[in-house]
């Protein structure tokens, strides 16, 4: 049977539209089960806090559980690779931070290509870093800290939530701009780093505000350059 050209084109157009309609229907039904949010940092840091707030909001809005899983290590690469290797079905999400961009220069032999293997969904928040010190530290202003660090090279420890984290890179930028020498002490997350800072085991951090808000008054913190 031969179909008129106009009827054939109409049927072909309808057939071509079916996959798109099917995708829309699936998107409208999402999610039909629990969704994992992978946080590539330890618990209680700014990324983890944001993930738990967003997970709760999404659970209430979409009627399914959004479960936060902390997978710290290797400057967020462990958690990132876990998501890369998960099925590309939208049920394993990654909360991305600045280390994902930084790691492209720090780790030449990664098992994934971040730009190729991870698809962005939405921007959520911008977080500033601030300089904080233990109360026993003799300096109270940035000029005082610079003067003290230059008088005591290598005697100040600064903590970070890991190599390549924003807290690490902010400190390195500060040292490059001021010419001071401080010793970097990396941790597996902001929470253990701040625990030692509060205990006086270390002296200085360039942490993010969400990680600090429980312990410090923002008005008493010093914004980093």
Domain boundaries, the chain: 32-117, 129-223
Tell me the pTM: 0.73
Region 32-117: CATH code: 3.40.190.150
Per-residue pLDDT band at 170 (split at 50, 70, 90) = very high
Neighbours of 171 (CB within 10 A): 22
Q: Please give the CATH superfamily to which domain 129-223 belongs.
A: Periplasmic binding protein-like II (3.40.190.10)
Helix (H) or strand (E) holding 17: helix 5-29
Residues 112 and 79 sit within 8 Å (Cβ to Cβ): no
What's the chain's average pLDDT? 85
**Nearest-angstrom CA–CA distance, 42 and 45:** 7
Per-residue pLDDT band at 101 (split at 50, 70, 90) = confident
Is 129-223 in the same CATH topology as 32-117?
A: yes
- Residue 132 has what pLDDT? 92
Four-residue CA torsion sign, 163, 168, 173, 175: negative
């Amino acid at each position: 049977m031969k179909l008129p050209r106009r009827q054939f084109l109409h049927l072909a157009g309808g057939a071509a539209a079916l996959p798109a309609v099917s995708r829309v229907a699936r998107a409208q039904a999402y999610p039909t089960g629990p969704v994992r949010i992978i946080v590539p940092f330890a618990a209680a840091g700014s990324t983890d806090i944001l993930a738990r707030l967003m997970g709760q909001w999404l659970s209430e809005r979409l009627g399914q559980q959004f479960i936060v899983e902390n997978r710290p290590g290797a400057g967020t690469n462990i958690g990132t690779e876990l998501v890369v290797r998960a099925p590309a079905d939208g049920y394993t999400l990654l909360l991305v931070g600045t280390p994902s961009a930084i790691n492209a220069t720090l780790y030449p032999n990664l098992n994934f290509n971040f730009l190729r293997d991870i698809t962005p969904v939405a921007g959520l928040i911008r977080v500033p870093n601030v300089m904080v010190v233990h109360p026993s530290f003799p300096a109270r202003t940035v000029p005082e800290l610079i003067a003290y660090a230059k008088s005591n090279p290598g005697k100040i420890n600064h903590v970070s939530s890991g190599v390549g984290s924003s807290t690490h890179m902010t400190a390195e930028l500060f040292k490059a701009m001021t010419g001071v020498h401080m010793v970097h002490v990396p941790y597996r997350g902001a929470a253990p780093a701040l625990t030692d800072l509060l205990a006086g085991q270390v002296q200085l951090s360039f942490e993010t505000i969400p990680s600090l808000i429980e312990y410090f008054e923002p008005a008493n913190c010093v914004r980093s350059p």
